[in-house]
Amino acid sequence: THTEREREKHAAFCPPVSLTPPKLEPKTATAMTEEYEVKQSLLEKLNAGQGLDGISKDLIEQHFGLYKGYVANMNALRKELAEGREAGASGPQVADRRRRFGFEYNGVVLHELYFANMTPGGSRPSSTVVELIEKQFGSFEKWEADFKATGATRGVGWAVLYMDPTTGALNNHFVELHENGNVSGFQPILIMDVWEHAYILDQGAAGRPKYIEAFLKNIDWVVVEERFVN
């Protein structure tokens, strides 16, 4: 089971999310283009104390800067597409912007999920989480080996432990870039970035295996369990 200290540490950086649906109001063009804000609390959590084990604060700072770039690009494209709709714009340029919008948006979402499921020193998975994983993979060790192999897939992208919400099935998936391989409607449970920028500063160009080991030592299993529950 998780210690109270782990849960208190998590709560300090990740306040509970209200499950009450917000009251929906008619949206104006201006309201629809309000800028999305960078989640700075994620960086504060990752760099608390001595920071992550095996992943330097310098790398995290640089990586977080790339995430900020995705947020900026997403905001810019959202505004451009909204203005284009108002003006009746169409054609190849609009289609290209629409595709790029999905790439940037997924870049934001995946980075936030990734940063959120790490914490300095890591934590231990609860018996509930272990039991769910063992039910699907035979043992926790078999799941971990398969997750590592997923992260070692040639190419740039993400290793994702997904849950099928209709069946409860768990599978490890490789998502190329930010969007190729995402399964619509599936619940992301654990996210690991395996683009080179996630490890090259600390481990070098061939350092992905060492980075994967470091990532596993820093998993915030409190967050992971919350994703199972939600």
Please say if the pLDDT value at position 4 is more than 60: no
Structural element, H or E, at residue 163: strand 157-163
pLDDT in tens, 194-209: 999 999 999 999 999 9
pLDDT in tens, 54-82: 999 999 999 999 999 999 999 999 998 88
Position 22 scores a pLDDT of 45
Q: Average of pLDDT values for 105-115? A: 97
Helix, strand, or coil (residue 189) = strand
Global pTM value = 0.84
pLDDT in tens, 167-221: 999 999 999 999 888 889 999 999 999 999 999 999 999 999 999 999 999 999 9
Please say if the pLDDT value at position 144 is more than 80: yes
Q: How far is CA 169 from CA 43, 72, 106, 130, 188, in A?
A: 32, 35, 23, 14, 12
Q: What percent of the chain has pLDDT over 70?
A: 86
Interior/surface letters 5-40, b for 16+ CB within 10 angstroms, e for the rest: ebeebbeebbeeeeeeeeeeeeeeeeeeeeeeebbe
